[in-house]
Amino acid sequence: MADARFKLISLHDSDNVLVALSAVGPGDVPLARGQILSLSAHVTLGHKVAARPISNGELVVKYGMPIGTATEDIPAGAHVHVHNIASRYTATHYRDEEAGLADE
């Protein structure tokens, strides 16, 4: 697979999460527009990280649309997934060992 120029992509200007285009982190990751985001975890393709701090109870926004509510304070650069956000419709069921949370 050809290397993408940036490993984290913002899908919409109002998003507070970025999507990994390949396995990335932990550590400093360059973003478009010359910024650097320091990831606290290793995340794989398709997973999300916080673009900025997200407070407990705040909406998590991807594609410019809310995809759920933060269930704890999420620092910038943290993995955003089933362990720290919840659906506003129906609960998410997953198998712990396979949810892609190995590093957390």
Partner 1 sequence: MSKTWQGYLRTDGRKGIRNTVAVVYLVECARFVADEITRAFRDQDVHLIGFPGCFPNDYAQHMMERLCTHPNVGGVLLVSLGCESFNRGKLAEVIEASGRPVETLVIQKTGGSAATIRSGQAQVKKTLAGIANVPRVEMTTQDLVVGTICGGSDGTSGISGNPAAGRAFDQLVAEGAACIFEETGELIGCEHIMAERAITPELGEALRETVAKAARYYDTLGYGSFAAGNATGGLSTIEEKSLGAYVKSGDAPISGIIKPGDIPPSGGLYLMDVVPDGEVRYGFPNIADNAEIVEMIASGAHMTLFVTGRGSVVGSALAPVIKICANPDTYEALSEDMDINAGAIISGTRDLDEVAEEILTAIHDTASGHHTASEAMGHQEFILTYKSFEPVGPACLPTK
CA distance 57 to 2: 38
The reply on whether position 26 binds partner 1 by CB under 8 A is no
CA distance 3 to 83: 29
The reply on whether position 92 binds partner 1 by CB under 8 A is yes
* Two tokens, residue 22: 């390949």
The reply on whether position 99 binds partner 1 by CB under 8 A is yes
* Two tokens, residue 88: 């506003």
The reply on whether position 46 binds partner 1 by CB under 8 A is yes
Footprint on this chain of partner 1 (rule: CB under 8 A)? 1-5, 9, 11, 19-22, 43-48, 60, 62-63, 65-68, 80-82, 85-95, 98-100
